[in-house]
Amino acid sequence: MSDKISEGIKKEIEKLVKELNYHCYRYYVLDSPVVSDEEYDSLYLKLKELEKKYNYILPDSPTQRIGAPPLYKFEKVKHTEPMLSLDNAFSYDDVNEFDRRVKRLMRSEGDIEYTVEPKYDGLAIELTYRKGLFYRASTRGDGYEGEDVTQNIRTIKSIPLKIEAHDEIPDEIDIRGEVYMDIDEFEKLNREREQKGEPVFANPRNAAAGSVRQLDPSITASRKLHIACYGIGAVKGMDFKSQWQLIKWFEKARFAVPAFIKSVKGIDNVVNVIKEIEERRMTFSFETDGAVIKVNDFELQRILGAKTREPRWAIAYKFPAHQGTTRIKEIIASVGRTGVITPVAMLEPVRIGGVTVSRSTLHNWDEIERKDIRIGDTVVVERAGDVIPHVVMVIKEKRTGKERAFPIPDRCPDCGSKVVREEGEVAARCISLHCPAQVQEKIIHFVSRGGMDIEGLGEKNVELLYSKGLIKHFSDIYQLHMHKEDLLGLPRFGEKSAQNLIDAIEKSRRATLSRFLFAIGILHVGEYSSKLLARNFRVLEALYYIEKEKILEIKQIGDKIAASVAAFFSDEKNIETLKSLELELTNPDFVLSKKSDMLLEGLSFVITGTLAKSRKEVEDLIESNGGHVSKSVSAGTNYLIFGEEPGSKLQKARSLGVKTVSYEELLEMVGERTGKR
């Protein structure tokens, strides 16, 4: 039951929603926040509490962006106005021809006014607003019918849930824009996927499209997507005169617009603007492969009309791919932050599109084989978009017979550990815990929430402490309490935050074995596999030099994970590192999980309601004692642990005859009493 709401509280909630939406706009659209993240979070929390207490939730509340349940499939959506595609121009001649055609059709001699903006490489989305409220989002599909991706698009924080801050609001409007992922974000996402053994995205466009076409909106929410609004479909109750006016309206209504747009008269000026965009493209945070030229005036656009798929009033100029010819002097193996070893060609320097290129990635050994690339070869190199230059092809006619192949190295060039290449995988990797190329990334994972969960040691602070030499390796984390003075000298650290960090580190010494196994970041080993390993092997030592077959005895673990675990624990240096780390862990649970008499072994638990400890802590307690936690109650459930406001699970458990126990009773079951810990 919610408390009765007064006008005063309503006003307060409305004010908070407005304020938070404004801060979102400052942060995500303008990239110029006026409050700190902490201030934002505390306002957000306050709103969430009030909403819960009074059950009063506004449709544009920022809390409504997340939390929608996964779908089974996307519904179809018919576009009121078709979403067209664009004709391409590959040269300035083509651009001039486009202008001549426009003039011919308009029977006009005078200069036409055009807008020029970058062509975003993402996916086209239509946002429908009704009475100013975000109503629906759909993909382009075949241009006439797309898919309803509302729940996913709602998670993009730069998209207003309500059009305000504007005196002119149409009754209904279809806004079109490109949803995209920044290049940095794309690279970061791929690094993470690689680390987890998931396939990487080929380019930012695929990453954006893959993120939007997710049935589970929480996955979309975890990807940092942006939008650039560049057009409209059907509009009711308002009249836009030109592309320029539309963009100005977008800006005022707080929609994100293309990072660059100019309106000019005459095609010569258009060409100059295209050149300007090409010069600037390296400074853009997103990938662009061209410029879009549009007749500015909407009335002229209407007269010009469209062919079946493309309008006659717009064209996309594609930047030429920059290519050059040079010779591969040497090939080196380079270790990335996630351990993947990439072959890199060292080139005789060559100027391509105004930039000197002397290195080029060869991606992986499959690619080397496919293109038959050898040291000494003469090759065509391309610098496409903003991505790193790559070798397009070998000019085999130029071979002298002295060229040499470059096989996968046996040892990691950075740490000398054995290189592993799994069956069916393209990547060759170094899986050593002490490899200097990877250690920083590994530490970030080690301390992360799913791992040792050291609060206050996020990515930025790990980088900071690493750069200052305070953490060079995992075990250095546990020496930090002796370096409090050094911590105090660092930016972002005061007495309180330094002590909090030290306390959080101390607390992490009590991590369970499964958390620890997850934290050390064995390739393909996620939280679930870590739990299975912990439950079955119980002590870390049991995994040292383990054979793959032994791991395969766990029925839920497949070949890929087993091979990875075995490879990891066959590395002597890894074991050395683990042994020194284990000395730092004083956790009774870690010890407890070494006991052979797991008290909850084989029992299945479901948790409901609010307990004295967080859900995660209770799960850890159950699992470290051999129990298993599932989400829903069934006849196979042994115990339901219930707290305050237990919900429907309690009834279901009772009706199925499942035993129901309190958190205190659970503590007794595992031999602990309330207040003891």
Residues that bind ligand IVH (CB under 6 A): 84-86, 117, 119-120, 124, 140, 178, 230-231, 258, 292, 311, 314, 316
| Identity of the residue, 113 or 117, whose beta carbon is nearer to ligand IVH in the bound complex | 117
Torsion-angle region of 504 (φ positive above 0: left; ψ -120 to 50: alpha; else: beta) = alpha
| Identity of the residue, 58 or 208, whose beta carbon is nearer to ligand IVH in the bound complex | 208
Residue (of 102, 241, 97, 224) closest to 168 by Cα position: 241
Pairing between β-strand 88-89 and β-strand 314-318 as defined by DSSP bridges: parallel
CB of 152 to ligand IVH, least distance (A): 17
Q: How far apart are CA 515 and CA 487, in angstroms?
A: 26
CB of 314 to ligand IVH, least distance (A): 5
| Identity of the residue, 305 or 526, whose beta carbon is nearer to ligand IVH in the bound complex | 305
Pairing between β-strand 355-361 and β-strand 340-352 as defined by DSSP bridges: antiparallel
CB of 243 to ligand IVH, least distance (A): 9
Residue 574, CB-side half-sphere exposure with 13 Å CA sphere = 24
Q: How far apart are CA 136 and CA 173, in angstroms?
A: 11
Q: Give per-residue burial for 201-219: e unless 16+ CB within 10 Å, then b.
A: bebbbbbbbbbbebeebee
Q: Which residues form the catalytic set? A: 119
Residue with smallest beta-carbon separation from ligand IVH: 124
**CB-CB neighbours of 391 under 10 Å:** 22
CB of 228 to ligand IVH, least distance (A): 7
| Identity of the residue, 235 or 435, whose beta carbon is nearer to ligand IVH in the bound complex | 235
CB of 276 to ligand IVH, least distance (A): 15
- Specify the 3-state DSSP secondary structure of 225: strand
Q: How far apart are CA 427 and CA 420, in angstroms?
A: 9
CB of 86 to ligand IVH, least distance (A): 4
DSSP letter for each residue of 402-465: --B--PPPSB-TTT-PBEEE-TT---EEE--TT-TTTHHHHHHHHHSTTTT--TT--HHHHHHH
Residue (of 450, 448, 439, 457) closest to 502 by Cα position: 457
CB of 95 to ligand IVH, least distance (A): 15
CB of 247 to ligand IVH, least distance (A): 10
Are the beta carbons of 633 and 606 closer than 8 angstroms? yes
| Identity of the residue, 83 or 520, whose beta carbon is nearer to ligand IVH in the bound complex | 83
Residue (of 657, 609, 650) closest to 636 by Cα position: 657
Radius of gyration of the chain from its Cα atoms, rounded to whole angstroms: 29
Residue type for position 500:
N
Q: How far apart are CA 174 and CA 162, in angstroms?
A: 14
Counting every residue written for the chain, the total comes to 677
| Identity of the residue, 86 or 546, whose beta carbon is nearer to ligand IVH in the bound complex | 86
| Identity of the residue, 122 or 626, whose beta carbon is nearer to ligand IVH in the bound complex | 122
Cα–Cα distances in Å, from 26 out to 23, 256, 275, 523, 608? 5, 11, 30, 39, 39
| Identity of the residue, 183 or 480, whose beta carbon is nearer to ligand IVH in the bound complex | 183
Q: How far apart are CA 232 and CA 105, in angstroms?
A: 23
CB of 617 to ligand IVH, least distance (A): 47
Strand pairing partners for 127? 137, 175
| Identity of the residue, 140 or 363, whose beta carbon is nearer to ligand IVH in the bound complex | 140
**DSSP classification of residue 531:** H
> Token digits for 117?
């903006």
